[in-house]
Structure 1
Amino acid sequence: MSIGTPATRALSQAQVRFRVLEYDYVTGQDRIGLHAAEAIGADPGRVLKTLMVEVDGKPACAVIPSDRSLSMKRVAAAFGGKSAQMMPPDKAERLTGYHTGGISPFGQKRRHPTAFEASALAVPEVVINGGRRGLMVALAPADALEAAAAKAQPLCAE
């Protein structure tokens, strides 16, 4: 199954089983992940958002539930750094090859260190952006970790 995004092609090439979920993306949403969860009728805790960050000035990718917020202290610790901050959207787009609202941890232009919020992986299936606005993929958490070459770490604020 290939929908034609770098993310879905990467998953297919890795022989990962996934389902495609599409919804009408509405521009101008403040909380894109929550909008996606509502649009596809999924629990916001299972719909994961992909955030590009900089840890000690180096790019990294954090994947967390759409209803949670990052703890920059935890992000820095997860990637072995001292400080972390959100990456500017234009830089995130340039480094990943995706548009904001469609950034996926799979199939980025160049692989960046990636971590998933550990507490979000105790479910049978997670939903993550499939590489374009309005396209999500549903897959097993273990498959998502493997396909993104990611580690499970505490990333969210309490």
Structure 2
Amino acid sequence: MRPYWLALCQSCGQALLLESAQEFDDRDPDDLPARPATVLWPQDGRPIAAEVPPVVRRELTAARAGVRSGSPASAVLHVRRLLEAVCADHGVTGRTLFHALRELRRGGLIEGWLLSWAEELRELGNEAAHLGPRPLGKSEAEDAVELAEAFVDYVYVISGKYHRFRVRRGTDKSSNIRNVVQETPAIRILRKSQVAFRVHPYPHDPARTKSRAAVADELGISPMRLLKAVILYLGEHAVVAIAPVEGVIDERALARAFGATRARVAALADVVRIGETFAADVVSPLALPYLPSVLEESSAAASSVFVSSGRHGLELELDPADLIRLTRARTAPIVR
């Protein structure tokens, strides 16, 4: 017969149901020497934390399933997709995974050593996607999944716990930010400038990106208070127009605000090239202080305005006077 054991994982304390990989006689299982065993329960390893978003959870579950089914290549490919899901969840889209991981690092969302982990996993995923001189082994897949689990824990669980710890101790005053993972360059600029602001999270599904107008509806505010940042060119020089989401930028009026004759909206490729600190479809004017900016003059009179944090799922509310000061924006009627 094959003995069964109830065991306790020495690393995480998880209860385990094990089945011996070899058959034995009727002796007491406690008297048997140690033998290889199969984990019958839990089938998916330790529970995935509730903080992990569904898109990341799906890839981690699929990677674990690949290991269990004896398909190392499948497991490693899902680990690579997990990295892509983490990037997308933080608003880093439209680039290769190589560049997206570095954008996470530049944005302070992961540390340098985590970038090294992610790079190893990315390269292993590339190997799994192509025929190579040798097939991937089970141990490599198991290691990849364990590293992916640790990566996810750090990004979604441990960082949040550390932030809440600092808030309780009074060493981190940004108690309205749910966790440090969500901090973006725009948020860091606001904190460093010591201006009053609020962070407003909203649900974000990477598969269904919301328009800025839909975000206003999600937050329950007037679209006139939710601003968009549009990059335009005056000849060869880029500028930023900041205006209500439902307003249409009057390119001639914008050009006049800068003493120019013509303006044109920047192509998406130019937006990606100019801004390395935000997703291309959620440009934050706060992250572009080095570009000349103009704010729609009617927005300057609002009690407060909302601008993108530079990532999906987070909007920043602040006084328009602070927005003008931090972006060095002039005001003019630029919406028709």
Q: TM-score, normalised on structure 2?
A: 0.44
Query: What does the per-residue CA deviation read over 1:25-77, in whole Å, with 9 as the maximum and x for residues that have no partner?
Result: 35666x82201101111100000011111112210000000111000001111
Structure 2: how far apart are the matches of 1:95 and 1:103?
Answer: 11
Letter of the 2:315 partner, please give it. M
Higher-Rg structure is 2
57, 73, 80: which one pairs with 2:236? 57
Structure 1: how far apart are the matches of 2:208 and 2:294?
Answer: 27
CA contact (8 A) 1:113 1:150 kept: yes
Letter of the 2:294 partner, please give it. A
Q: Does 1:136 align with 2:315?
A: yes
Residue 18 (structure 1) aligns with: 197
Structure 2: how far apart are the matches of 1:9 and 1:121?
Answer: 23
Q: Does 1:103 align with 2:273?
A: no
Structure 2: how far apart are the matches of 1:6 and 1:23?
Answer: 19
Runs of 4+ in 1 over 6 A off after TM superposition: none
Letter of the 2:280 partner, please give it. T
Residue 301 (structure 2) aligns with: 122
Structure 2: how far apart are the matches of 1:87 and 1:124?
Answer: 30
Structure 2 residue runs without a partner (length 5+) = 1-173
Q: How does 1:11-90 map to 2 (within 5 A)?
A: 11-25=190-204, 32-90=211-269
Letter of the 2:301 partner, please give it. A
CA contact (8 A) 1:102 1:134 kept: no
Q: Answer 1 or 2: which has greater strand percent.
A: 1
Structure 2: how far apart are the matches of 1:140 and 1:111?
Answer: 20
Secondary structure of 1:90's match? helix
Q: CA deviation at 1:148?
A: 1.0
Q: Does 1:6 align with 2:201?
A: no
Higher relative contact order, structure no. (Cα contacts within 8 Å, ≥ 6 residues apart) = 1
Secondary structure of 2:284's match? coil
Structure 1: how far apart are the matches of 2:194 and 2:330?
Answer: 19
Structure 1: how far apart are the matches of 2:231 and 2:203?
Answer: 23
CA contact (8 A) 1:34 1:67 kept: yes
Q: TM-score, normalised on structure 1?
A: 0.90
Count of aligned pairs: 155
Structure 1 residue runs without a partner (length 5+) = none
